[in-house]
Amino acid sequence: MADSLMTLADIALLNDVSVEDYGATDIFLDAPVLRILPAQTASHGTDHKYLKHVTAPTVGFRAPNAGRDHSKTGRVWVTETLKILDATFHLDAMIAKSNPKGEAFVMAMEAMMHLRAAMKAAERQIFYGTAEDAGGFLGLVDNVGLNKIDDAMVLTAGGTSTGVFGDVWMIRATSDFANCAVILGNSGNIAIEPWERQLVSDGDGKQFPALFQEIDGWLGLQVGGAKSVARLVNLNLADGASANTLTDDLLANLMELFPEEAPPTHIVMNKRARKQLMQSRTATNATGAPAPLPTEYEGVPIVTTSACSTYTTAVAAS
């Protein structure tokens, strides 16, 4: 049976009330990866310190009365600095008043939409980090080993120069938090402060009455092992592309980067990449019948998300 992971929906608190009890689980509708990644609270408030596994120990056989060199597991301390995920907003008071259900209803609905957008932004940050939002937490591409085609856990699909390129990610996420995990600061609390009336200024400095609500929390990412994540880069996602597109062969090569005893638990891509995989299976089908949209590869589930965005300049070597 698959592990049951403690996810963000389980540990996140909205004003000290669980997301599920608050009735706000739909804030993850646009963030399918956040929905499935394990999550835990930060070890030190707004900083998270953990041991990252980088090398295995050396063991071996020996003859009686003969020694052997001992070694130890290679681990390094990593401190992740969490950043504030801010979904604060204001709304023209007259717009709220015009709704027949009242101001409180309008602000509650607006708060949920801002939380939903915040989760989507956090999911993009997981993959592309400071390249996505310089003020956000470090993401996967900020990790050494995941940002150049000659890095150990990176495979290139072969796209070069300029065009429309994309990524496929394989992630190992486990219940022991030894691999990829989302980190929540401030004991997991996302604060939704009571809304209040304020005078705010427009672009010309002229004031108008508005309803203001502060929504924020601390968020970060843990990558617990040197082989917790692999990335396929330079996938040609241009319309009508016929070369350097996604195939089962590329997925097999990407999976091979993981140790046999610690395979990936999820494959993440966008819908265009999944369509290419479907088309490659149709092209090799003996009957010529259209292949179904893929949902897994070798038993590993495929998660599609728009957070796997496209880029126009191919990822290069170091």
Q: What is the pLDDT of residues 48-89, one digit of tens each?
A: 988 888 888 889 999 999 999 999 888 888 888 999 999 999
User: pLDDT at position 300, please?
Assistant: 97
Report CA-CA distances (Å) from 55 to 58, 73, 101, 249, 259.
Answer: 9, 6, 59, 28, 12
**Global confidence as pTM:** 0.88
Rounded CA separation 256/248 (Å): 12
Query: In this structure, are strands 215-223 and 180-184 parallel, antiparallel, or unpaired?
Result: antiparallel
Give the model's confidence band at 23: pLDDT under 50 very low, under 70 low, under 90 confident, else very high: low
Buried b or exposed e, range 191-226, using 16+ CB within 10 angstroms: ebeebeeeeeeeeeeeeeebbbbebbbbbbbbbbbb
pLDDT in tens, 204-219: 999 999 999 999 999 9
Contact 266, 195 (CB under 8 A): no
Report whether pLDDT(24) > 70: no
Could you tell me the sign of the dihedral formed by the alpha carbons of 26, 30, 35, 40, in that order? negative
CA-closest candidate to residue 312, choices 168, 157, 164: 164
Amino acid at 131: A
- Summarize the confidence of residues 178-195 as an average pLDDT: 89
Following CA atoms 3, 6, 7, 10 in sequence, which dihedral angle do they give, to the nearest 10 degrees? 140
- Summarize the confidence of residues 3-15 as an average pLDDT: 73
User: pLDDT at position 162, please?
Assistant: 92
User: pLDDT at position 5, please?
Assistant: 72
Q: What angle do CA 32, 33, 39 make, to 5 degrees?
A: 120
Mean of pLDDT over the chain: 91
User: pLDDT at position 269, please?
Assistant: 98
Q: Determine what percent of the chain is predicted with pLDDT higher than 90.
A: 71
The DSSP call for residue 265 is: S
Contact 99, 83 (CB under 8 A): no
User: pLDDT at position 260, please?
Assistant: 94
Rounded CA separation 143/59 (Å): 29
Rounded CA separation 268/246 (Å): 13
Report whether pLDDT(1) > 50: no
The alpha-helical segments, DSSP class H, found in the chain are 8-11, 19-22, 32-36, 93-97, 103-132, 248-255, 271-283
Give the model's confidence band at 4: pLDDT under 50 very low, under 70 low, under 90 confident, else very high: low
Q: Write out the two tokens for 205.
A: 């400095």
* Residue 15: Cβ within 10 Å count: 12
* Residue 114: Cβ within 10 Å count: 18
